Amino acid sequence: MKLAEYCNTAPSYIGEIEMGRKFPSTEMIEKIAGALRIEPYHLFRDWTKTGNDSNHEGYYPLLPASMKNEIKSQIETSISEILDKY
């Protein structure tokens, strides 16, 4: 409930994210990471894997392909919006 409060959203929305029924926007990912005082990529890392941060093998292992595609699309859209400004 506190996380939802810190992110200025409904507790039910956070619950939907936790259960994998909803995928947050990049803005919400940043809010959640900020509230937890972690880097956003930490939300997607499989911490059971060992190794240093340069080894990307443990990243995004549990996300379905559709979510990976959504992340990729959001990143590409954000990059395009930034580049369009310049």
| pLDDT band (50, 70, 90) for residue 23 | confident
Q: Which domains does the chain have, with CATH numbers?
A: 2-84 (1.10.260)
For residue 52, what pLDDT is reported?
Answer: 54
pLDDT tens digits, one per residue of 51-65: 555 555 555 556 667
Residue 7: per-residue pLDDT? 93
pTM for the predicted model, two decimal places: 0.57
Give the integer Cα–Cα distance in Å for 81 and 22.
24
Give me the pLDDT at residue 13, please: 92
